[in-house]
Amino acid sequence: MWLTSPTLARDDGRYANSPLKPWFESLHSGYGQCCSDADGYVVADPDWESDHGHFRVLIDNEWVVVPNEAVITEPNKVGRTMVWKHYIDGHPRVRCFMPGSMT
């Protein structure tokens, strides 16, 4: 599977004492707050690509172009690539994307 577990995106209480909780809750892209209504997932290195500052990511066996507005530009404190996704007409879309160490 290309995505592992959600990381601090859905707060069911288990991350209440994490020092990164406030940072995750503060993440925004051009589409708004990342953790407000979408779950963040860690993306394995083979399942995302960067070409001259433009990204695409494999979601549900579909390569999705990451809109520039979805890219989180602040430093990545977890070091892993993450995506916050949603669906339009049954197809995955990227709300927020945080590149990891491959860039």
For residue 62, what are the domain limits?
Answer: 20-98
Q: Please choose, from the candidates 6, 29, 26, 10, the residue with its C-alpha nearest in 3D space to the C-alpha of residue 82.
A: 6
The pLDDT confidence band at residue 46, using thresholds 50, 70 and 90, is: very high
Question: Is 80 contained in some domain?
Answer: yes
Q: How many residues does the chain have?
A: 103
Q: What's the number of domains the chain is made of?
A: 1
Q: Could you write out the DSSP letters of every residue in the chain?
A: --EEEE-SSS-SSTTTT-TTHHHHHH-EETTEESSSSS-EEEE-GGGEEEETTEEEEEETTEEEEEPGGGB--S--SS-S-EEEEEEETTEEEEEEEE--TT-
pTM above 0.85, yes or no: no
Give the pLDDT mean for 54-64. 95
The pLDDT confidence band at residue 97, using thresholds 50, 70 and 90, is: very high
Which CATH number belongs to the domain containing residue 56 in this structure?
2.40.50
Question: Is 44 contained in some domain?
Answer: yes
